[in-house]
Amino acid sequence: MEFWWRPLLHAAGLVLLFFLLGGASASGPAMAALAALLAGYVLHLLLQLKRVDDWLRRPEQPAPRGSGVWGDVLYRLDKLLRGGNERQQKAAADLEQILYVTGALPEGIVILDADERIVWLNDAAGRHLGLTRERDSGQFIHYLLRGARFLEWLALEDTSQRLTYRVPGGSDRTLSLQQARMPRGQRLLISHDVTEAERLDAMRRDFVANVSHELRTPITVITGFLEAFDEMDAPEPKTFKKHVHLMREQSDRLRRLLDDLLMLARLEGNAEMKNETVDIDLLCRRMLEDARALSQGRHEIQLRMDSRARLLGNEQELHSAFGNLVSNAVRYTPDGGAISLRWAENPSGGGEFSVTDTGEGIEAKHIPRLTERFYRVDRGRSRASGGTGLGLAIVKHILQRHQGRLRVDSTPGKGSVFTAVFPAERLIPAVSAAPRPPGQGAA
């Protein structure tokens, strides 16, 4: 029998008790007894209601116990509340997980209401747009992100169109903005940071322009001489020989440029590097010979071997990197200057190959850009020296493949030190290294 019948049975029992006590002609005492029983029953109901009310106000407390119909009611209420709490906890956990995931996204997310006020934003949106949840929630988006192009884009009905947005305020950040419609008139703004992609695209454009310029000069010279020879009936041997020599110089320059471009393309292509044990002592002595051959006696060149440790790496690539540093020092050091090559271990246990010269030096503002392709401190002087503008870019990529880096220290008017720094895990200690008297490390 359903529990809602039970109060009726209780009331029927009270009426039956009344008739048993005195019947319909019952006098005052019987009526008083019935009234007392009814009052007690009502009081019991009120007490139970009070207990239920107290419990509902503090549902974290254990459910009160009851008998009969109240036991059923309290059991069902407790079950209902527990189910609601479980659903609420699951919904809260799901919401927390969603907020965590959206907060960890690299894309910025901003939710706007129907009036274009900020409802919520994730951390990435704060970094991209300079917003904060605490300060900017409830603010109109067009008060915070100004600009005619942004406002026009925000008012578009076609949400498939993207906007390239450069963050104002002196920031060099570039964003790609996208919007999507949501229920109840809300909108979702998504921001992608395309600063690096824009930078790489600009670098590619500059690279193509620089390559075209570098190739045009030798090709123009060679083409001009060939056209002149074609117009001559009988070229004068002396003039012909002179022009052929100039054509050969331009051809060599063109070959060096193409070789460097191919080397750089291979390095940037992330081709797998074959590691081997490189005899740095032998490699440095080759660098000394190459430097002296390139100098032709115009400089004082020496080599210091302060360590006999070998290196784990690719000998061909290291030869190219060290060779670029050495050839730069010879080209940019005036006649009579000094150049020093040195291999040593640093305090952190790594290795360092350094090239020190007494050239003109480099201003500090140029040093961060030296490893950019075709970047030249003095374009006219660089071309006159025979450089391609790719040497230090090649050095940087080779060192990165060896988990190393290039350090440049320079003082204008005094000279420069270019150091290839390698981590300790790349160094292979010498099998046996007898102590050397001071001064015997130079060659």
Q: Residue 272 has what DSSP assignment?
A: P
Are 281 and 424 in a shared domain?
yes
Looking up tokens 């302060």 gives: 306
> What value does the mean pLDDT of the chain take?
80
Whether residue 137 lies inside any domain: the answer is yes
For 83, the domain range is 3-99
CB count within 10 Å of CB 396 equals 21
pLDDT digits (tens, 9 = 90+) for 120-141: 888 888 888 888 888 988 999 8
Token pair of 182, please? 């949501």
In degrees to the nearest 10, what's the CA dihedral of 280, 285, 286, 290?
140
Task: Tell me which of 193, 228, 247 is where a domain ends.
Answer: 193
Query: Which pLDDT band holds residue 2 (cuts at 50, 70, 90)?
Result: very low
The residue type at 136: D
Q: Determine the Cα–Cα distance for residues 375 and 384; give it in Å rounded to an integer.
A: 15
pLDDT digits (tens, 9 = 90+) for 99-123: 666 667 778 888 899 899 998 888 8
β 415-422/300-305 pair status: unpaired
Whether residue 262 lies inside any domain: the answer is yes
Are 66 and 166 in a shared domain?
no
Share of the chain above pLDDT 70, in %: 76
Q: 397 versus 265: which is more confidently predicted? A: 397
The predicted structure's pLDDT at residue 41? 66
Query: Could you tell me the pTM of the whole model?
Result: 0.56
Chain centroid to CA 95: 27
Whether residue 438 lies inside any domain: the answer is no
Task: Tell me which of 99, 125, 156 is where a domain ends.
Answer: 99
pLDDT surpassing 90 at residue 237: no
Are 304 and 360 in a shared domain?
yes
**pLDDT, average across residues 164-170:** 78
The predicted structure's pLDDT at residue 440? 44
pLDDT digits (tens, 9 = 90+) for 79-101: 777 776 667 777 667 667 766 66
Q: What CATH number is associated with residue 213?
A: 1.10.287.130
Task: Tell me which of 72, 99, 126 is where a domain ends.
Answer: 99
What is the residue-wise DSSP string for 160-174? T--EEEE-SSS---E
Are 205 and 160 in a shared domain?
no
Q: How many domains are there within the chain? A: 4
